[in-house]
Amino acid sequence: MPSTPGTPTGRRRHRVREEALTEILTTGRRLLVEEGPAAVTLRAIAREMGMTAPGLYRYYTAHRDLIQALASSLYDELATTLAAARDRHPASDPGRQLDEVCRELRRWALAHPQEFGLLFAKPLTDADTAPGAAAHDPSWRFGGVVLDLMVQLWHHGNIKPPADLDPAWTVQLEEVREHLSGAPVPLEIIYVFVSCWTRLYGAVAVEVFGHLDFALTDPAPLFDHTVRDILTALGEPRTAPR
């Protein structure tokens, strides 16, 4: 007779399955870090764990499922890390909180370049975050840490939206607005949010991927200027350089 989740046997099987899933993702992440994204395959993980490939298929039936699970866990880790950085400063000072979050994103990315690359360079097509993908919601949990602080700064009333945006293309920003709670944010303001995120991501990515080596041995001062410019664009110029 098959066990049910509430029975001792069912609970034990659930625990064993959860432990196996954790080990699979831990092994996949290690392969990502040590050998790169192409090494993260079901067969390679099975070999590292001393399992047969068919045995692993009981947990992930396809490479896409595995990569989506790995990406989801990394987004959740990053969201938790950024939220902890945010909470090092009082909620009454969203400018200082966002400053800390920006810097924590850089620290995490520099400490985890392969993981950052999987999430944001997407070297594997299976790591996408399109609607319907398993990593879609976790990616928005990460993004929400940044966006929610931007919304709080908007409520302070100091963001100056650009005056010449074409409504024909700002409608593309509707999905971003759908993920924001509270009163609807004007699309012109969301444009400012996306523009600031683009600058932040660009500043982090160009350093993580080694594309500033031709000019800078220490990109930190450039990053400081970038963060100050982002906060100024969001109506929060008080943050002093570190």
Amino acid 1: pLDDT = 43
Above 50 in pLDDT, residue 217?
yes
Q: How far apart are CA 16 and CA 21, in angstroms?
A: 9
Which residue, 103, 186, 197, is CA-closest to 143? 197
Residue given tokens 């070999």 in the structure block: 47
Amino acid 174: pLDDT = 87
Q: How far apart are CA 137 and CA 144, in angstroms?
A: 10
pLDDT band at 172 (very low <50, low <70, confident <90, very high): confident
Above 90 in pLDDT, residue 178?
no
Above 60 in pLDDT, residue 25?
yes
Evaluate if pTM is beyond 0.95.
no
pLDDT band at 179 (very low <50, low <70, confident <90, very high): confident
Work out the average pLDDT over 223-241.
86
Q: What domains does the chain contain, in order, with CATH numbers?
A: 1-61 (1.10.10), 72-233 (1.10.357.10)
Q: pLDDT (tens digit, 9 = 90+) per residue, 90-108? A: 999 999 999 999 999 999 9
